[in-house]
């Protein structure tokens, strides 16, 4: 296995996914849940993210070409989805977490587009395109799994922070997470618009 490539993919994806930055958003969305439900949300989110990244790594170009969708469009869609979640966190108008299915939170927005977002998908697709053989594919696959394991460890053991923060702290954290999420969403949309403009200028 190419350890240099493994290191490149691991570091790149780890920076994009940003487990420490993901923690406040995860806690804001799952803070009021029971510990068992929070742990289940962590592994469900990571499992979905792993599945999405693997699917796009293997057949990303084919899927996008078949649907006639450009990568910037995927990026903008992810940004719009995150804005909706951010508004709920900022205004406190999200559904009662006790009534909300854990799997819903885990799948959207945690699994995708936060963990398996446009950045992680595009980076993985580029690494796969540049791969030169089986050993390269093996290194990329191992790096993806290693990143997801790291994310799961961070999310799994973030429950201790909930006990320290208590409901008041979770409320503050929710607002901060909403602001961070809104900023991420705006950046995604801005990058998508810039990519569209560049693409059309190049075509023109």
Q: Taking the domains of the chain in order of start, what are their residue ranges? A: 1-201
Q: What is the pLDDT of residue 167?
A: 78
C-alpha 118, offset from chain centre: 8
- SS3 for 33-98, per residue? CCHHHHHHHHHHHHHHHHHHHHHHHHHHHHHHHHHCCCHHHHHHHHHHHHHHHHHHHHHCCCCCCC
Q: What is the pLDDT of residue 96?
A: 53
- SS3 for 155-204, per residue? HHCCHHHHHHHHHHHHHHHHHHHHHHHHHHHHHHHHHHHHHHHHHHHHHC
Q: What is the pLDDT of residues 123-174, one digit of tens each?
A: 999 999 999 899 999 999 999 999 999 999 999 988 788 778 877 888 888 8
Residues of the chain with pLDDT under 70: 93-101, 204
Q: What is the pLDDT of residue 105?
A: 85
Q: What is the pLDDT of residue 203?
A: 84
Q: What is the pLDDT of residue 204?
A: 67
């Amino acid at each position: 296995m190419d350890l240099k490539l493994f290191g490149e993919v691991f570091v790149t994806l780890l920076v994009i996914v940003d487990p420490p930055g993901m923690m406040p958003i995860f806690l804001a969305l799952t803070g009021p849940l029971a510990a068992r439900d929070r742990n289940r949300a962590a592994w469900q989110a990571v499992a979905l993210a792993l599945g999405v990244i693997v699917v796009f790594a293997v057949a990303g170009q084919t899927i996008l070409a078949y649907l006639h969708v450009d990568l910037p469009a995927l990026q903008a869609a992810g940004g719009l989805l995150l804005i909706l979640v951010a508004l709920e966190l900022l205004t406190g108008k999200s559904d009662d977490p006790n009534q909300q299915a854990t799997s819903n939170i885990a799948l959207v927005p945690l699994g995708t587009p936060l963990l398996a977002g446009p950045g992680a998908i595009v980076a993985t697709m580029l690494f796969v395109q540049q791969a030169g053989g089986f050993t390269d594919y093996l290194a990329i696959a191992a790096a993806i799994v290693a990143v997801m394991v790291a994310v799961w460890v961070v999310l799994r053991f973030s429950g201790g922070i909930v006990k320290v923060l208590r409901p008041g702290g979770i409320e503050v954290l929710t607002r901060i997470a909403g602001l961070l999420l809104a900023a991420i969403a705006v950046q995604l949309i801005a990058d998508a618009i810039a990519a569209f403009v560049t693409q059309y200028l190049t075509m023109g």
